[in-house]
Amino acid sequence: MLRDITIGQYYPTNSVIHRLDPRVKIVSTFIYIASLFIVKDFFAYSYILFFLGTTIFLSKVPFKYMLKGLKPLFLIIILTFSMNIFMTKGEIIYQLGPLDITLEGIHQAVFMATRLILLIVGTSILTLTTSPIQLTDGIEKLLNPFKKIGVPAHELAMMMTIALRFIPTLLEETDKIMKAQMARGADFESGNILSRAKSLVPLLVPLFISAFRRADELAMAMEARCYRGGENRTRMRELMLHKRDFVTGIVTAILLIAVILDRFI
C-alpha cells in the first residue's frame, strides 16, 4: 500500500508536459484546482475531463501509474461518498436503519467523489512531470515579487521541494521498518482501531529518528558543499518561456473561463 503513493515522485520521460516551464505548470495546477471548485454540475466536468485526459496523454505517464496513487486514498474517497449520501436531505428512496438514502444524496456523493478523484489525479501530474530542481526554481521565481515585503522566496521554495522529495524516501523507510517489525512478531492488521493505533508506536519511533537523522545529514552535506541559496546564486539552466508555455497558459485560461461561464451564465 505504501508503495502505491505517488505524491512527490518524479516519472522521467521526454514529453511536451515535461518540457514545459515549471512556473506555467504550477500556475496551471492552481487554475485547475480552482476550476474544480467552481464547477456546479456534471456537464462542466466534461471540460475538465477533456483537459485532464489530454494532459495525461501528452505527459506519456501511464494512466495505471496515476490510478495507483488513488489506492492509499481509497478510504478517504469512500468516507466522502458515504458522508454525502447519508447526510444530504431530499427525496428518500431507501432507508438503511436510522440513515436515509436520498436522490439528492446520491447525486451529491457521486459529484464530490468525482471532484476528489480529479483533484488527486490532476495535482499528481505536477510532481510526476517536474523534477525537484525545476520545482524549486519555479516556486522561487513565482515568489520573487514577494521579496520586497520580506518573504524568503528561496528558503520557502527549498523547504517545499525537500518536503515533497522526501515523501517517497520516508515511505520506503516506513515499509522497511514495518517489515522488520513484522518479522519480529509485530501485528499491524488485526484487532480494532485502538489496538492498531497502539501497534504503530514501535513503527513511529524509529521512523521519527530516521527522519531527523536524514535531515541532519542533508544539512551537513549542504553546509560541507558551502551551499548558499538566494542572492548571487547562479543556475546551469535559466528558466525561459517558449511558445508551448504560452499555448498552455491560453488553454488553461480557456478552461477556467469555460467553467466560470457554465456556472454563472
Cα distance from N-terminal residue to C-terminal residue, the chain? 44
Chain length of the chain: 265
17-31, 35-49, 122-136, 199-213: least confidently modelled range: 199-213
Dist. CA 38–CA 41, nearest whole Å: 10
pLDDT given at position 196: 67
2-6, 50-54, 115-119, 166-170: least confidently modelled range: 2-6
Q: Is the pLDDT of residue 3 over 60?
A: no
| pLDDT bracket for residue 62 (50, 70, 90) | confident
Ranges 109-118, 128-137, 201-210, most confident: 109-118
Question: How does the average pLDDT of the chain come out, rounded?
Answer: 82
Q: Is the pLDDT of residue 123 over 70?
A: yes
| Neighbour tally for 212: CB within 10 Å | 10
CB 145 within 8 A of CB 26: no
The more confident residue out of 95 and 250 is: 250
pLDDT given at position 10: 81
Ranges 53-57, 60-64, 66-70, 141-145, most confident: 53-57
Work out the burial of residue 223: count CB atoms within 10 Å of its CB; fewer than 13 is exposed, 13-18 middle, 19 or more buried. Answer: exposed
pLDDT given at position 197: 67
Rounded mean pLDDT, 154-169: 78
Ranges 12-26, 145-159, 211-225, most confident: 12-26
Q: Residue with C-alpha cell 496523454?
A: 57
For the chain, the structural domain boundaries read 2-264
Please report, rounded to a whole number, the percentage of residues in the chain having pLDDT higher than 90: 21
- 170-202 residue pLDDT tens: 877 887 888 887 777 777 666 666 666 677 777
The pTM (predicted TM-score) of the whole model is 0.77
Rounded mean pLDDT, 126-153: 82
* Residue type at position 16: V
- 199-222 residue pLDDT tens: 777 777 888 888 888 888 888 988
β partners of residue 95: 100
Q: Is the pLDDT of residue 24 over 90?
A: yes
